[in-house]
Amino acid sequence: MNSPQKKKVPIFNVEVGLVRTRDELEKLNAHLEDKVRERTEDLSCEIAQRERAEAALREERERYRELFENANDILYTLDLTGRVTSLNAAGEQIIGHKRREALGTSIGEILGEEYQDFVQGMLDEETNGKHGTAYQLEIVARDGRPIELEVSTRLVFDKEGRPVGAHGIARDVSERKKLEQQLRQAQKMEAIGNLAGGIAHNFNNMLTVILGYSHLILSSGAADSRIRAQVETIAGAAERSVALTRHLLTFSRNQILQPKVLDLNAVVRQTEKMLRPLIGENMNLVSRPGRDLGRVKADPGQIEQVIMNLAVNARDAMPDGGALIIETKNVEFDEDYIRWHPGARPGTYVLLKVTDTGCGMDQQTMSHIFEPFFTTKDAGKGTGLGLATVYGIVKQSGGHIWVYSEVGQGTTFKIYLPHAEESAEPVEPSEMRVERRDGGETILLVEDEAALRRLVHDMLERYGYTVLQAESAEAAIILCEQHGGPISLLLTDVIMTGMNGSQLADRLRTPHPEMKVLYMSGYTDGSILRHGVLRHGTRLIEKPFKAETLNKKLRETLGAKA
What DSSP letter does each residue of 392-435 carry, written as one string? Answer: HHHHHTT-EEEEEEETTTEEEEEEEEEBP-SPPPPPPPPPPP--
Chosen domain end from 117, 144, 172: 172
Sign of torsion, CA 300 303 309 312? negative
Q: How far apart are CA 327 and CA 414, in angstroms?
A: 9
The closest of 365, 349, 474 to 414, measured between CA atoms, is: 349
- The answer as to whether 451 is a domain residue is yes
DSSP sequence for 100-159 = HHHTT-BHHHHH-HHHHHHHHHHHHHHHTT--S-EEEEEEE-TTS-EEEEEEEEEEEE-T
- The answer as to whether 346 is a domain residue is yes
What is the Cα 424 distance to its own chain's centre? 31
Could you tell me the CATH number of the domain that includes residue 120? 3.30.450.20
Secondary structure string (H, E, C) spanning 13-33: HHHHHHHHHHHHHHHHHHHHH
The closest of 491, 488, 508, 493 to 439, measured between CA atoms, is: 488
- In the β-sheet with 400-406, what is the strand arrangement from edge to edge? 283-288, 322-333, 347-356, 410-418, 400-406
- Angle at the Cα of 252 from the Cα atoms of 308 and 261, rounded to 5 degrees: 55
- Same domain? For 372 and 301 the reply is yes
- Same domain? For 402 and 307 the reply is yes
Q: Are strands 322-333 and 283-288 parallel, antiparallel or unpaired?
A: parallel
Please answer whether residues 431 and 552 qualify as being in contact, where contact means their C-beta atoms are separated by less than 8 angstroms. Answer: no
- The answer as to whether 43 is a domain residue is yes
Q: Give 156's strand partners.
A: 165
- The answer as to whether 435 is a domain residue is no
Could you tell me the CATH number of the domain that includes residue 369? 3.30.565.10
Q: Give 208's strand partners.
A: none
How many CA atoms, within 13 angstroms, populate the side-chain half-sphere of residue 347?
15
Please answer whether residues 487 and 444 qualify as being in contact, where contact means their C-beta atoms are separated by less than 8 angstroms. Answer: yes
Phi, psi of 428 (to 5 degrees): -70, 145
- Same domain? For 75 and 58 the reply is no
- Confidence (pLDDT) at 477: 92
Residue type, 346: P
- Same domain? For 30 and 88 the reply is no
- Same domain? For 24 and 119 the reply is no
Q: How far apart are CA 123 and CA 115, in angstroms?
A: 12
Chosen domain end from 231, 251, 271: 251
Please answer whether residues 248 and 372 qualify as being in contact, where contact means their C-beta atoms are separated by less than 8 angstroms. Answer: yes
- The answer as to whether 6 is a domain residue is no
Q: How far apart are CA 145 and CA 555, in angstroms?
A: 66
Q: Give 168's strand partners.
A: 76, 153
- Same domain? For 402 and 306 the reply is yes
- Angle at the Cα of 529 from the Cα atoms of 262 and 304, rounded to 5 degrees: 30
Please answer whether residues 170 and 76 qualify as being in contact, where contact means their C-beta atoms are separated by less than 8 angstroms. Answer: yes
- Same domain? For 529 and 483 the reply is yes
Q: How far apart are CA 543 and CA 522, in angstroms?
A: 5
Chosen domain end from 403, 418, 433: 418
- The answer as to whether 8 is a domain residue is no
- Same domain? For 343 and 325 the reply is yes
- Same domain? For 93 and 117 the reply is yes
- Angle at the Cα of 96 from the Cα atoms of 149 and 402, rounded to 5 degrees: 60
- The answer as to whether 44 is a domain residue is yes
- Angle at the Cα of 423 from the Cα atoms of 418 and 429, rounded to 5 degrees: 110
User: Mapping DSSP to helix (H, G, I), strand (E, B) and coil, where does residue 365 land?
Assistant: helix
- Same domain? For 361 and 490 the reply is no
* Structural domain range at position 108: 71-172
Instruction: Note down pLDDT in tens along the chain; length 562 residues.
Output: 555 555 555 665 656 666 677 777 878 888 888 788 888 888 888 888 888 888 888 888 888 788 878 888 888 888 888 788 888 888 888 888 888 888 888 777 777 666 767 777 777 766 666 665 677 878 778 887 888 888 888 888 888 888 888 888 888 888 888 777 767 776 776 777 667 666 777 777 788 888 888 888 888 776 677 888 888 888 888 877 776 676 666 665 556 667 788 899 999 988 888 888 888 778 889 999 999 899 998 888 888 889 988 998 888 888 888 999 999 999 998 877 777 777 778 889 999 999 999 889 988 888 888 887 777 776 555 667 788 888 888 888 888 898 999 898 899 999 999 998 876 554 343 343 434 445 678 999 999 888 889 989 998 988 889 999 999 999 999 998 888 788 999 999 888 888 888 889 989 988 888 999 999 886 655 555 554 445 656 888 888 888 888 999 999 888 866 5
Could you tell me the CATH number of the domain that includes residue 479? 3.40.50.2300
Per-residue exposure over 447-464, b if at least 16 CB sit within 10 Å of its own CB, e if not:
bbbeebbebbbebbebbe
Q: How far apart are CA 483 and CA 150, in angstroms?
A: 72
Q: Give 470's strand partners.
A: 446
| Number of independent structural domains in the chain | 5
Q: Give 444's strand partners.
A: 468, 490
- Same domain? For 365 and 467 the reply is no
Looking at residue 83, the DSSP 8-state letter turns out to be B
Please answer whether residues 361 and 405 qualify as being in contact, where contact means their C-beta atoms are separated by less than 8 angstroms. Answer: yes
DSSP sequence for 45-79 = HHHHHHHHHHHHHHHHHHHHHHHHHH-SSEEEEEE
- Confidence (pLDDT) at 561: 60
- Same domain? For 284 and 374 the reply is yes
